[in-house]
Copies of this chain bind each other. A is one copy, B any other.
């Protein structure tokens, strides 16, 4: 603990992968960089940490002020400390995931003129600036693991979703096909979801029933 000051030319940024689900597909929000370096490339939203706020406060500010999105559920995932992350300065990055359901997102977002945002399917990430491709890969892996071993999917499916949509997400994450009958049986019989009585009209084929997650269900591995 000697030499407290001398070794410090070192900065920290926050980065966030914001995820939502739209029609059974998991999407991540990226922002197009407007200045050099990496001008025109897609990157994760984020900000440099200043010395009067926590990482969590900082990233919450990014979400609200910079992106115009509502406050959302976040989890810290990993701190990246490779030496060459930035070209000039040493900058560490603490990466978060943020989860928001599509309905709240559409209702509460405020458009910002000064940022160019786009949602990408997590299977179709564009070319990124910096090392954000590696960070995104880690965030997606983290998200998948959390979906499998907790019930954070509730946050992405707040109410009035269809079981085929939910099944799509599970199949996508697990990389396997699930039997429709067994899927419904498990979710319904184990008390995870409840029929809302409504149906999802306006699509091709037979309208699907709408469900919501039950609140009081404890987390366990479903698949």
Contacts and interface: CB of A to CB of B under 8 A. Distances in A.
A110 interface: no
B12 A4 contact: no
A90 B11 CA distance: 12
A35 interface: yes
A48 B79 contact: no
Interface residues of A, number: 31
Given A12-B12, A149-B149, A55 B79 contact: yes
B1 A11 contact: no
Interface of A: 1, 3-4, 7-12, 35, 48-56, 76, 78-79, 81-83, 89-90, 92, 94, 149, 221
A4 B8 contact: no
B94 A48 contact: no
A45 to B, nearest CB: 12
A49 B79 contact: no
Count of this chain's copies in the oligomeric assembly: 2
A53 B83 CA distance: 7
A52 to B, nearest CB: 7
A148 to B, nearest CB: 8
A35 B12 CA distance: 28
A79 B56 CA distance: 10
Nearest to A92: B12
A55 B81 contact: yes
A173 B52 CA distance: 37
A52 B52 CA distance: 25
A35 B4 CA distance: 15
Nearest to A220: B221
A92 to B, nearest CB: 7
Nearest to A90: B51
Contacts of A51: 7-10, 90
A8 B7 contact: no
Contacts of A53: 83
B94 A35 contact: no
Given A7-B50, A8-B11, A49-B10, A56 B83 contact: no
Given A76-B79, A81-B54, A10 B12 contact: yes
Contacts of A1: 35, 48
